[in-house]
């Protein structure tokens, strides 16, 4: 897999809650900032963390 084939989960409805997590994509502020420079391995880890965060909020 080439670098950076994993697409951003951003849905252009950015905001941050009190925990500095975007409720639209479930990424933390640190994850959002890291995304542009992240390789696909890190991007997949970020997506998995966001998925688990979303599951914990429902």
The pLDDT tens digits for 1-12 are: 457 799 999 999
Between 56 and 45, where is the model more confident?
Answer: 45
- pLDDT digits over 2-53, tens only? 577 999 999 999 899 999 999 999 999 999 999 999 999 999 999 999 999 9
User: What is the reported pLDDT for 4?
Assistant: 78
Q: Please report, for residues 12, 13, 19, 24, 50, the alpha-carbon distance to residue 47 in angstroms, rounded to integers and kept in the order given.
A: 16, 17, 17, 13, 5
User: What is the reported pLDDT for 1?
Assistant: 47
Domain ranges of the chain: 26-58
């Amino acid at each position: 897999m080439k670098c950076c084939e994993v697409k951003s989960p951003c849905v252009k409805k950015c905001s941050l809650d009190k925990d500095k997590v975007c409720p639209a994509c479930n990424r933390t502020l640190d994850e959002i900032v890291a995304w542009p420079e992240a390789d696909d391995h890190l991007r997949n880890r970020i997506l998995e963390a966001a998925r688990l965060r979303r599951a914990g909020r429902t």
